Structure formats: structure tokens, C-alpha cells
Structure 1
Amino acid sequence: MLSFPASSPRISGRPEPMACAPWFVWVTDRSRLGGRSDGRTSSGGGNSVQCSTPPARDNILIVGAGPTGLSGAILLRLRGYRPTVIDRRPRLESLPAAHVINTRSMEILAEMGLAETMAEQGDPTAISSASGMVVWVESLAARQYGVLRIAGAAEDDRGPLSAFSSVNIAQNLIEMILYQRLLALGGAVRFGDEAVDVTADDGSARVSIRSIASNETASEVYDWLLGCDGAGSTVRRSVGIEMHGPRTLARFLTIYFHADLERFRVNRRGLLYWIGGKDARGVFISFDKEGQVWAMLVPIGDLPADSFDTADARALVNKAIGTDAVDVRIIGLNHWNMSAQVAGTYRSGPIFLAGDAAHRFPPMGGLGMNTGIHDAHNLVWKLAAVIEGRARETLLDSYESERRPVAQRNTDQSVQNLMKMSLIDEALGVATLAPIAADAAKGPVSAYAPGTLRIDGDSAQAEAHRAAVQIAIDAQAEHFAQGAGTDLGFSYIAGAFVPDGSPPPSAGPCHYRPDAHPGARLPFASASGCFAASTLGQVQPEGVTLFYAEPRWREVSKNVSATAGIAVQCYHVDAQSFGNAARDLLGIGDHGAVAVRPDGHVLWRSKSGPEGAAGALEQAIRISHGRM
């Protein structure tokens, strides 16, 4: 790791990009950071205990060990910090839950040393290959209504968009991989410890933590707290942050089950199977390459959560399969509300919200878990810079100004995806998913589906309706194709960067033309095609990384680095290092330069040479560290 104190900035002239190998791992000694103990006591639901404050290098609490919390913990460990991680669960989740890691998340996982493991354990072909599809059927054993090919564009006319593709992998496996990585870095999770109350106290976070096993409550004080404790976040409620948006769009039952469904998937190995027949209604989600682990989502309207038992669940699954001749083993049931909400603020003093604690999306689009991982990635480098004195605390305000609009956009996109699904229902002649008659989930689907669908029969009208169904299915591309515009093309609207007046690289969910627009993700460029030797792979975890075309930028950067007290790492952009299209992708021509933050987002860009640019570059570097 390159770790430079503010008083002694360093700069490299032109280091060679790394060979194609796993992305570098960086750990720094933070022992110079002091600690304190206030010796206060507090009592809760159990025994009265000593209240202490860990040393500063350990003085970060992460509440929640899901994908967001574990990602934040790993990124902190890689920077030499030892955050405390607690989770009220007794162990990691055993049920699959979410199931798609998108391309940008894979790039972040590469920084953690986990992209290859995720790809090996999951199925990259389910989304990115020509065979990837979503299928609409009457039942698995009955007729097919239509198919949507979901392989998105992996490149534009100048080359690949990333070294990685999206991966279909169950969330419980994602959590296990993240957890094992955290353990390998010397971290741990205190399972069975629940945050029951959180307050901001004299610039610190005071947390009442209850041991579920003993019912004893301890009061602990931390300099910083990351609330990653999910949709029902205790952290969020404790500090009085409200959610904005509809709390309940629809109510669902998720049935997790094991079954061998391969015989129904010949020539149509779908990631999802939408069931829309007369006897069943819902969607099957495939979680593994072998087609053995599944979930079925069933809309349940206003039915009470206790209306379904294992026998009911098995009957629903059998109806959706279209036969009772399959051995179905139910492994879990989960009732949940589909929401579309974003927290009113992401910060209360030293307390931050991330992941589902900050935003709740409909699952249409697979954006929830990925957005949480991106939240952690945005926050951690800023927090480290503030703790180490390289940045002012005002930099942390940019976490909300950057990430909250992304969450709102993803919420809107997810709701649009949900509403657009009604086009298929209308073409078929059935009621939409939500709301739905309460008795339809357990009783005959005739409660909302007519005895004859519009597509039934040989009439010209039925044929027209069948064509309309496929047109409606094709209209779902923005929902299912993991569009590069949503995945890679998002750009921050306001925050720790300097706008240059250029348009953002995304023109919609499925449209993305890479460009180093300030606030956007740095475009991927690599002569070899691998991540480690790419532009993104060379971004440093501290300070600023400068990619330049004109060699004179080296001297300018050296002087600016010394003046600003911030490390600058320089890379010359040429065909040998980053490929023939690199300068075009970055938008720097033969003379310009682009400055990049530790999270891979563009800080500043100059399309002209370095003459007279020192002041602008220094100002940009100071802005990236909250010093303006």
C-alpha cells in the first residue's frame, strides 16, 4: 500500500502498470493513532457494565454483517483498521435471498481480492453469455409465452467496458465469501450482539449492545458508526432518520426450496422463470449452476404472514412447476414488504447509514445489494482520509450528496421496472402482480386470471395477443439486462469532484459510452484486458491518481502534490500501457490529464496541456479532501 502522511507527500514519475495478476492488497500500520477510555457505566436490559472506548485505530463500529457491512469491514481492514462488526443473527444467513453481483460490484470485489472467487463460485454465464435469458411460461411443464435474452453489451466500439461481467450467485454464498475474506485479514464478527439504541454523544457514537444469549447490555463508545443493519435498521430509528417513499407496494412470500428442475430447462436455461398461468402465479429464481437451489416469489396481497405453512408452500411450487412428480424440499419461508424508500439523510454526526438501512428498492433490477456495496466503497476511503488527517471532516458530507441521488435514481428505476411488468399481464389478460386478490395465492388463480387467456386459441386476435406478449417481454430489457448505463454509467451530481461541463456518460439504463466525466466511474482501459493492469486497477487507495497524455504533467503534479500535501501517483497513458483507445476513452486527447479519487471516480479533467493548470489541479485535489 502507498501510505503517505500529509506532511511528506510523494509522487511517482511513471510507474509501469502491474502485470495481469490479482489486484494489489494494501495494509498500513495505524498504530500512531491514539485511543481513550471514559470509564463511564450504563445499564440496559441486563447487567450494568463498564463503558469503554477502543483505541482510535479500532474505534469504528459496523452494525450488520450483510454484504454492505462485510464489504465496509474488509475495505477498512485493507487500510489497516480493525473495525468492530456486530450482527444480531447467531450466524450468517443460510437462505439465498439476493442473487446478482453486477459489473461495478465485481470491480470493487477485485479490490478486495474476491472477484475471481465470486466468478468461480457463481455463474457469470447466466447473465452475460448469449444463452442468458428470462423466460415467461404458463408453468415450467407447460407452454412458453416468450423469452428475453439478457446478455447486455459487454463493449462499445472502442473495447470492453470492464474486465468483469455480472455474476449470478446466491447472497448467502456472497456473505460467506466476504466473511472468510474478513477472517483471513484478521477480522471477526460478533454474532448474537444486537444494537438496541444508538445516540450521538459529544461527537462520538454511544451504542447500547445487547447480547442475545445472555440478555446483558453493554454501552460502548465509538468515534464512527456505520449502520448497515438492513431495512428495519435500529441505527436509523435510534437517530430519528425517516424514510421517504411508499413503505408497501406489495406483499410477498418467498419460498426457498431444493428441486431438480433440469428437465424443464432444456434449451431455455433461464435466470428467472415468470409463471403466469391459470393455476399458479409468481416467479422462480435460479441460484446455482446446477439448477438445484430455487426461490419462488408469490404475491400474497393482504393475507397474514402465518397463512402459509410448508405444505401450502410445496403445493404452490408444484402448481408452478406444473406437476407433482418432482421432489420438492422446502428449506425456508420469508414474508416481506416490497418498498420504495430512501432515507431522508445518510448521516447524523459520526453515524452513517449504508445499504438497506439507507434505501429499500423493489427487487426488479437487482440493484439493492449492489448499491449497498457501492455505498461502503464510497464511504470508507473518505473516512480513512479524515481519520488520518489528510482530509477535513467536511469531506464526509459528500457521502450523502453523492450516494443518496444514486439511491433515489435506483429506486425510481426499480419502480419503473415493476410497473412495466404490467405490460405482459395486460397482453396475457390477467391482473397485475400488485395489488392482487388476497385469496389468489392459496386458492385458484381464477380469482384474477380468466378461464381463457387472450393468447388462447387459433384466431387472428389470439395470434395478435401472442405477438403483443413478446413485444411486452422485449420491453423489459432495462429491467433484466443489467444495463451498462445503470451499472457503470452513473455519475455523481454533486460532491467531492470538479465538474467540467461535459454530459454524463449514461443516456439511460441500457446505454453507456465510457467517458471520464467528473463524478463518473473512470473508464476501463487495458492493453491486456485484465483488471490489474487497467486504468481502474492502477487507482491508488489513498490520495489522487493522475492519468496524463502530455509528459509535462509529471512536473506539474509533483509541485502540486508538495503544495497540497496530498500524494499523487502518475501514469502515462499510451497504447502500450492501456491500449489504443485509452486517450479517447478518458477524453484527454494528446495533451490532457484526468485525476481520479481512491474509489475510481473521476475528480477532475483537463482536455488541454499542463500550461497554467497547476492552480486548477491543486484546487481539485483540495476539494477531493474537503479542504475548500
Structure 2
Amino acid sequence: MNSDKSIVIVGAGPTGLTAAILLCLRGYDPVVLDRRPNLVGYPAAHVANTRSMEVFAEIGVADRVLEQGDGSALSGLVVWVESLAGREYGKLTIQGAALDDRGPLSAYQSVNIPQTNLEAILSDRLVELGGTVRFGQEVIAARNISGGATVEVRAVADDALTTMKCDWVLGCDGAGSAVRRSMGIEMEGPQTIARFMTIYFDADLDLFRKGRRGILYWIGGPEVRGVFISFDKIGRSWAMLVPVGDLAVEAFSDAAAVNIVKKAIGSDDVVIELQGVSSWNMSAQVATAYRHGRILLAGDACHRFPPTGGLGMNTGIQDAHNLIWKLCAVLEGGADDTLLNTYEEERRPIARRNTDQSVNNLMKMAMIDEALGIQTLAPIAQDAAEGPIATWPDEVLGIDGNNSEAATKRSAVQHAIDEQAEHFAQGAGVDLGFTYTTGVLVPDGSEPPSSEPCDYHPDAHPGSRLPFSSIDGRFEASTLDRVAPQGVTLFALAPAWGSRAAAASRETGVAVSVVIFGPAGVDLGANAAVLLGISEDGAVAVRPDGHVLWRTQAHDAGSEIELVRAFRLCGRKPRSERSHLANG
């Protein structure tokens, strides 16, 4: 272990655990602190998107996530109903874009898996690598000191306070981040868009899902509104998100929570096993800074999105993927710590983009309310659980019957639902199409690939994710799996690029792995060169996080100079040290 460099990770959620695993894979032994007594909790987030699944493949847990999750759920339905047993307003088929005309976009699609299960998988992987989580340890403050940082820790069991010194702190401690607050870093954007109560329960709802099996059911009744979320393959573990406005969750007893669920189902006969009730605040905020000296923020500690789009947890996992290779380059002496400034430079615009996308998804759902003529997301009343199950009178909705007016309104409602495809089907543009425009990359003058949610065509534009190409569609035999965990990976058709890359490595001290593909090397599929956008003498350099660093479509007189420039962005090692390495 590289035990001479100490790293404290605050928070053992998906972001913190992913960061810890990536560090362990590089030989470090981070200290992970979490205020909870263990990982047991409510499911919370529930979708690992395609890009996160690729990160999980890299760290060795993708197969476990697939085994415990449902890889087909995100190709199902989203349904809008008065209640599960009542009127159906309409439904949307989710068809995530898995292909373009050049082949599959990835070896993976999104997986429906509760956050609790995902955290257990990641924790097990951390333990396999020799790491652990110290539970019951609440970090209440973090400070920069000369040459390092400190965290003040409160032991939850006895309130004992200790101060730990370390080289670096990663604040992955969620929306209420004590690390962020102690740095005085502000959040930009609305703190409250809406407030929700979440009711977690187990129930067999198969009777009401026949012919319309999905993971989301939007409830728009006269008294009860919200959304049902399915967390497991068999459809027994559920949550209901209920808009409550200014009401405190304490205003609802356990019995009231069960009655709200029964009204949303539209039946008193279903057995409901209540697991718990919690409340949460929907925000749309991004931190003004991601770094303060030796302290860095990731995940919900630096961005909070509405859940409309499932981007929160995934953005945090991808934050860690971007950050850790840069931190390791600094720790291993190959880069000045200014490299870490590019973490915020690259990731903050993505957080802003994902915030805007999530808010846009939320606002667009008002189209359904307008078409129906009712408010499906209005806060419920405090007495909503009382009385019998209510339904909308026919004259209020006006969608029943075979008359032309009802048919026209039903068509308008379905059209409004179809317009939500960008939100729920989402497409690969949001998931895979995010591109860094500045940071650790060398622009090549090309136009970036389209990242519209439902119109994504991968391309090796500098700053974008390396396109997936594989002879058989497996991750283990793909371009992405060939990316080295450190230094630079160079993809080329011509073997001459091996010596060119080696020269750049000697000049800069940055490690290089060369992948010659095509007739002279490994088979990465018939369309690999087309996807990368290079000719027979072109090349693409890729960073450890799978994003394109540099590309030349064909070799010319300036290519090798530009390649050295690209390498230096990853290393920034002083020339005296580079000369020593080159001679040694």
C-alpha cells in the first residue's frame, strides 16, 4: 500500500465507496468514515445508468449489480393512473437507445437496483481489496493545514471527539455536507422546489400491473398523488413519493401512511407491510467550488438534483471516476496539484447540465396536468388518509366514454405523456454523451457529437467518452476495457504509433499503454476506426477515466508535438525530472 499518503473519505454512499475502491485498486488505503451505524437504510436512489455500469465494470462489480438488479426494468413502462385499480391516463414505453447504425453504444444498459443493495456490493468489493468503512464516525468539520488537512470526528456511540490529520480529504457526505459547510462553500440555485414524504413498503401489486408492468406509476387521484417506485425484480419492494408541501412528515402516523398507499392503489384489500417513512427536500443546486486546498467535494455534497432523470447518484459516481485518477497522478509525483483544479473545471458544468435537465424534466410534466385539467403533483392535504377511497367524477376528467370529446381529451393526455420520452426514455445523450469542453484535453477543431437526450452518436471528440467498440459486444473485449488505469492509453491502427507514444512518454514521464487494433493488432470490431474518427495513420489518446485526451485523424508534421503537449496535461512533471526519467 502507498501508506505514506493518507486520504480520508467522508461518507460511505455510492460516491465515497466508488472513490475508495478506485484508490485501493491503485494501491492506496483510504480511511472511509460514515456516521451511520452500518449500511442498513432505505433504498433511496435506484438506477445505475449505463456510464455508471461501465465504471462498475472497471472496478469489478458490474456482474454483481446485474445479478442483484433488474437490467430489463428500464425497457419497460411508465404508467399514469388515477390509482392502480382506477382509471389509466396513459403510459409511456421506455426504449433506451442501445444502438446506433454502427453498433451497440455500450455493453451495458441501465439497471434498477436499490441504493442499499448497491452500497452493500461496493462495500464488499472494498473489503476484498483490503479496505474498510469506519461506521459510527461523524465528521463535523474539515480544515486545511500546512501540507495537508484535518477532520474533526465525533464518535456517535459516546460523543467523543478526535482530530485526524491526513494529506487529502474527499467530502462525499451528501446534501447536508459538513465538509462543504466547514469550508464555507455556498450552493447556487433554489434550495426548495418541493417537499416530499417517502413511504417505504412491501406489497404484492401484481394484480394491478397486468399488461403494464413497469417501475414507475404516477398517481393522480383527487386526494392522493405521487409516484410508486418498484425496487426489485419481483415487484414486492416499493416506495411511494408523496408531495406534502409545508406539512411535516410527523403530521402523518404510520396508519395514515398505509392508508395513503391503499388510496393510491385504489383498494383496501392489499396487505401493506410498512418499512418506514421519511421526508426530503427537492433542490436544484450546485456548489460554487469543488475544491478548497487539500479538501475536495464529490456527489451530493456539491450538487443536488430533482430525481426526475435519475442523475444524482450517477453524477456522483462519475465525479469520483474523474477525480481519483487526477488525485493519484498528484500523489504519485507525476503531476502538480493544479491538475486537481480541472476536476471542478470539467465536472461542475456537467452538474449544471444535469441540474437543468432534471428541472426541465420536472417542469415538462406540467403538460400532463394541463391536458388532464387536474394537478397530479399538488401537495396532499393533512387529512388525505381519512375517509373512503375517492375517485374523480366523470365530468371533472372528461376522458370516459366513446364520445368525440372524451376521445380527443384522451388523445391530448397521451400526447402529453409521449412528450415525456426525453425524461424517462432519456436516451444515451444524457447518460453517455456528456463532453468536457475545457480541462485535460487538446481540442482538435472538430464538432462535438450530439448530446441531445434521444440523439446521441458516439465520436472520439476530445473531452468525450471513448466510443464503445467490441468484436462481440462484451465490455471485457472492448475499447473501454483497454483503457489503462493510469497514464495515457493510445489507440491506433498503424504500429508506428508505438514508438511515437514511447517517445512522448520518455519526454514527459507519463506512462503510456499502446493499443494497436485492426489488421496489425487486436480486433475491436469492424467499425472501431469509424467510431474513433481516424484514418489508417490516425490515433486517439485516452485518459484513465475513459475520456478522450487528444486525437489526430491522420499523422502529420505536428502530430507528435501535439501528442507531447497532451501527455503534459496529465503529468506536468518538471523538465529536470523528465530528463532524469528519460535517461534512467
- TM-score with structure 1 length normalisation? 0.88
- In structure 2, the residue matched to 1:94 is 41
1:97-119 CA-to-partner distances (Å, cap 9, x unmatched) read 11000000000000111001100
Q: What is the distance in 2 between the residues matched to 1:441 and 1:350?
A: 50
Q: Which amino acid aligns with 2:536?
A: D
- In structure 2, the residue matched to 1:110 is 57
Matches within 5 A, 1:257-336: 257-336=201-280
Q: Counterpart of 2:247 in 1: which secondary structure?
A: coil
Contact 1:241/1:345 (<8 A) preserved: yes
1:366-408 CA-to-partner distances (Å, cap 9, x unmatched) read 0000000000010011101100001111110000000000000
Q: What is the distance in 1 between the residues matched to 2:398 and 2:572?
A: 60
- In structure 1, the residue matched to 2:4 is 56
* Structure 1 residue 443 displacement after superposition: 6.2
- Do residues 519 (structure 1) and 466 (structure 2) align? no
- In structure 2, the residue matched to 1:491 is 435
* Structure 1 residue 423 displacement after superposition: 0.6
Q: Counterpart of 2:469 in 1: which secondary structure?
A: coil
Taking a change above 3 Å as real, the CA distance of residues 359 and 141 of structure 1, as seen in their structure-2 partners, is same
CA RMSD of aligned residues (A): 1.8
* Structure 1 residue 612 displacement after superposition: 3.8
Contact 1:499/1:518 (<8 A) preserved: yes
- In structure 2, the residue matched to 1:607 is 553
- In structure 2, the residue matched to 1:577 is 523
- Do residues 173 (structure 1) and 97 (structure 2) align? no
Q: What is the distance in 2 between the residues matched to 1:203 and 1:271?
A: 49
Q: What is the distance in 2 between the residues matched to 1:460 and 1:626?
A: 70
- Do residues 127 (structure 1) and 74 (structure 2) align? yes
1:4-23 CA-to-partner distances (Å, cap 9, x unmatched) read xxxxxxxxxxxxxxxxxxxx
Indicate the larger mover: 503-512 or 247-256: 503-512
* Structure 1 residue 212 displacement after superposition: 0.8
Contact 2:243/2:380 (<8 A) preserved: no
Q: Counterpart of 1:152 in 2: which secondary structure?
A: coil
| Structure 2: tracts of 5 or more residues without a match | 575-584
- Do residues 412 (structure 1) and 356 (structure 2) align? yes
Q: Which amino acid aligns with 2:120?
A: M
Give aligned-pair identity as a percent.
59
* Structure 1 residue 121 displacement after superposition: 0.5
Q: Which amino acid aligns with 2:90?
A: G
- In structure 2, the residue matched to 1:369 is 313
Q: What is the distance in 2 between the residues matched to 1:306 and 1:178?
A: 33
Q: Which amino acid aligns with 1:291?
A: G
Taking a change above 3 Å as real, the CA distance of residues 285 and 546 of structure 1, as seen in their structure-2 partners, is same
Matches within 5 A, 1:416-565: 416-431=360-375, 433=377, 436=379, 438-439=381-382, 441-442=384-385, 452-565=396-509
Q: Counterpart of 1:207 in 2: which secondary structure?
A: strand
* Structure 1 residue 459 displacement after superposition: 3.4
1:254-300 CA-to-partner distances (Å, cap 9, x unmatched) read 00000011111112111100111234211100000111000000000
- In structure 2, the residue matched to 1:66 is 13
Q: What is the distance in 2 between the residues matched to 1:437 and 1:365?
A: 23
Contact 1:145/1:466 (<8 A) preserved: yes
* Structure 1 residue 442 displacement after superposition: 4.6
1:158-182 CA-to-partner distances (Å, cap 9, x unmatched) read 0000011110011100011011111
1:451-507 CA-to-partner distances (Å, cap 9, x unmatched) read 721424443222111101111111111111142000001101211111112222234
Q: What is the distance in 2 between the residues matched to 1:205 and 1:246?
A: 31
Q: What is the distance in 1 between the residues matched to 2:516 and 2:299?
A: 36
1:411-461 CA-to-partner distances (Å, cap 9, x unmatched) read 000000000111111111112525x36547556899999972142444322
* Structure 1 residue 557 displacement after superposition: 1.1
Contact 2:368/2:413 (<8 A) preserved: yes
Match among 530, 535, 559 for residue 589 of structure 1? 535
- In structure 2, the residue matched to 1:195 is 139
Q: What is the distance in 2 between the residues matched to 1:627 and 1:417?
A: 44
Q: Counterpart of 2:446 in 1: which secondary structure?
A: coil
Q: What is the distance in 1 between the residues matched to 2:195 and 2:332?
A: 46
Taking a change above 3 Å as real, the CA distance of residues 159 and 502 of structure 1, as seen in their structure-2 partners, is same
Q: Counterpart of 1:532 in 2: which secondary structure?
A: helix
Matches within 5 A, 1:20-59: 29-30=1-2, 55-57=3-5, 59=6
Contact 2:220/2:377 (<8 A) preserved: no
Contact 1:485/1:512 (<8 A) preserved: yes
Contact 1:552/1:610 (<8 A) preserved: no
Taking a change above 3 Å as real, the CA distance of residues 437 and 120 of structure 1, as seen in their structure-2 partners, is closer
Matches within 5 A, 1:147-162: 147-162=91-106
* Structure 1 residue 627 displacement after superposition: 5.5
Q: What is the distance in 1 between the residues matched to 2:294 and 2:340?
A: 9
* Structure 1 residue 197 displacement after superposition: 1.4
Q: What is the distance in 1 between the residues matched to 2:434 and 2:288?
A: 21
Q: What is the distance in 2 between the residues matched to 1:60 and 1:163?
A: 33
* Structure 1 residue 203 displacement after superposition: 3.5
- In structure 2, the residue matched to 1:230 is 174
Indicate the larger mover: 135-144 or 256-265: 135-144
Match among 166, 171, 191 for residue 247 of structure 1? 191
Q: What is the distance in 1 between the residues matched to 2:476 and 2:46?
A: 26
- In structure 1, the residue matched to 2:295 is 351
- Do residues 624 (structure 1) and 577 (structure 2) align? no
Q: Counterpart of 1:378 in 2: which secondary structure?
A: helix
1:551-606 CA-to-partner distances (Å, cap 9, x unmatched) read 22122112111111111111113166111100000001222100000000000000
* Structure 1 residue 351 displacement after superposition: 0.4
Q: Which amino acid aligns with 1:64?
A: G
Q: What is the distance in 2 between the residues matched to 1:166 and 1:176?
A: 19
Contact 1:170/1:287 (<8 A) preserved: yes
Matches within 5 A, 1:384-403: 384-403=328-347
| Structure 1: tracts of 5 or more residues without a match | 1-28, 31-54
Indicate the larger mover: 436-445 or 389-398: 436-445
- In structure 2, the residue matched to 1:3 is none
Q: What is the distance in 1 between the residues matched to 2:93 and 2:391?
A: 31
Taking a change above 3 Å as real, the CA distance of residues 379 and 455 of structure 1, as seen in their structure-2 partners, is same
- In structure 1, the residue matched to 2:108 is 164
Taking a change above 3 Å as real, the CA distance of residues 187 and 614 of structure 1, as seen in their structure-2 partners, is same
Taking a change above 3 Å as real, the CA distance of residues 627 and 419 of structure 1, as seen in their structure-2 partners, is farther
Q: What is the distance in 1 between the residues matched to 2:308 and 2:383?
A: 22
Q: What is the distance in 2 between the residues matched to 1:276 and 1:451?
A: 16
Q: Counterpart of 1:230 in 2: which secondary structure?
A: coil
Q: What is the distance in 1 between the residues matched to 2:394 and 2:248?
A: 25
Q: Counterpart of 1:452 in 2: which secondary structure?
A: helix
- In structure 1, the residue matched to 2:23 is 76
Q: What is the distance in 1 between the residues matched to 2:386 and 2:564?
A: 67
